[in-house]
Amino acid sequence: MTDLRFDGRVAVVTGAGRGLGRSYAMLLASQGAKVVVNDPGGGLAGDGTDTGPACDLVREILAAGGQAVASTDSVATAAGGKAIIDTALDTYGRVDILIHNAGIVRRASLKEMSYQDFDAVLDVHLRGAFHVLRPAFPVMCDAGYGRIVLTSSIAGLYGNHDVANYAAAKAGVIGLSNVAALEGAADGVACNVIVPAALTRMAAGIDTSAYPPMGPGLVAPVVGWLAHETCSVTGEVFIALAGRVARAVTAESPGVHRPAWTVEDVGEHLDAIRNIQVPLVFPVVPDGHGQHIRYSFDLAHRSTDRGVLRG
């Protein structure tokens, strides 16, 4: 099989100086992409700056014969997000691929989490996604092409202890991606979500002694495919964990329809309401929102029709 290449494509990768982002940037560059390596070089909690990680990776890519430029602006502000995308436009004249991978962690129980720590994590993960997506998206739509990969997490899907800020931000990223997928579909812009797991510095403090191999190299090919022109899906969520690649979906039970409800009725029908044996999945694109509403409306109309016939 011929290698899937990115010749002529310009990619922006946030949080690219270390860990997963570094692996993504190196893969894209090795396959011909011109890469904006974005990383302000801060600590795991978002403190401080260091130009070293971004600049070191750029030097490594250049030494290997690739093309890259460093960006040390922060995604945490609108100005920083615009500057990151402007680096791609000013240097290479276009932006074809956007991978938002930047992230920080500030752990605390929900009882004790400070507002400052909650906002700081949202600023990087969720607002940060918007800060780079907002300036890149119209450029992609005008060009008639784009591939966007936003990063969620297992915590965003299922929650986890001591990371209410992180979980909320990562869940929000999925909603943001869905809108980008819907609004970009007519212009050839695809947007999907990666839910990655790898042993990077974010695993600090976790006992990983019994973990199977979980290097960034097991995640990067999935992101590479989502970033490639042959990517055939949009508005979807992909999990990459310890060599397992899977799709995550929002599913509903068929539910129960009644023309009227009491509080007692809900309790009495709870088993049927919660029965997920035959789940409903409404794809984001082309019209999951509308399909969801039409399904419920159809049940209501059929119930009304049956009532008229009985009368």
- Catalytic residue numbers, as ranges: 166
194: nearest Cα among 233, 140, 138: 233
Neighbouring C-beta atoms of residue 196, cutoff 10 Å = 25
Alpha-carbon distance of 190 to 7, in angstroms, equals 19
Bridge partners of residue 37, in order along the sequence: 13, 70
Alpha-carbon distance of 226 to 311, in angstroms, equals 55
165: nearest Cα among 102, 127, 122, 134: 122
Question: DSSP secondary structure string, 73-117?
Answer: --TTSHHHHHHHHHHHHHHHS---EEEE-------B-TTT--HHH
In the structure encoding, which two tokens stand for residue 136, read together?
């890149």
Alpha-carbon distance of 178 to 168, in angstroms, equals 16
Neighbouring C-beta atoms of residue 215, cutoff 10 Å = 15
Tell me how far CA of residue 226 lies from CA of 34, 52, 117, 258, in angstroms. Answer: 17, 28, 31, 42
Residues 85-115 as b or e (16 or more Cβ within 10 Å = b):
bebbbeebeebbbbbbbbbbbbbeeeeebee
Say which residues have a Cβ less than 8 Å from residue 276's Cβ, sequence separation at least 6: 251, 253
